Amino acid sequence: MIFIYLLIALISRRIRIQIRTSFETPKKMQENTWFDDLLDELYIHVSRAHSEKLLRESEVQELSSRSDAVLDHMVEGVAVTDTKGHVLLH
C-alpha cells in the first residue's frame, strides 16, 4: 500500500514539474524539429490548395449564374457571344 502511494506521489510530482515548465517556458516544450517542419510545409500547401479550390468554386458559381440568367432570358433568334465575338449560344 505504501509502495502504491509513493509511486503515485512520484508520478504526480513529475507531471506537476512538466506542467509548470510548459507554462513558464512554452518554447522549450515546442522545439522545432524535422517532423514539425514537414507538418508546417504540409499545412501551408494544403491551406493554399484549399484557398485555390474555394476561388475556383466561386468562379464556377459565377459562370453558372451568368449562364442561367442568359438561358432564362433568351428568346428564339438571339445569339450570345463572348467579348471576342465568338458565338456561345444560339
Domain boundaries, given as residue ranges, for the chain: 1-31, 40-90
pLDDT at 59 > cutoff 80: yes
Other residues' Cβ atoms within 10 Å of the Cβ of residue 80? 14
What value does the mean pLDDT take over residues 45-60? 91
What pLDDT shows up at residue 33? Answer: 53
Residues 6+ apart with CB under 8 A from 80: 70, 74, 87, 88, 89, 90
> What span, in angstroms and rounded, lies between the C-alpha atoms of 80 and 60?
19
Query: Taking the complete model, does pTM exceed 0.85, yes or no?
Result: no
C-alpha cell at 16: 506537476
Q: What percent of the chain has pLDDT over 90?
A: 12
Between residues 3 and 61, the one the model is more confident about: 61
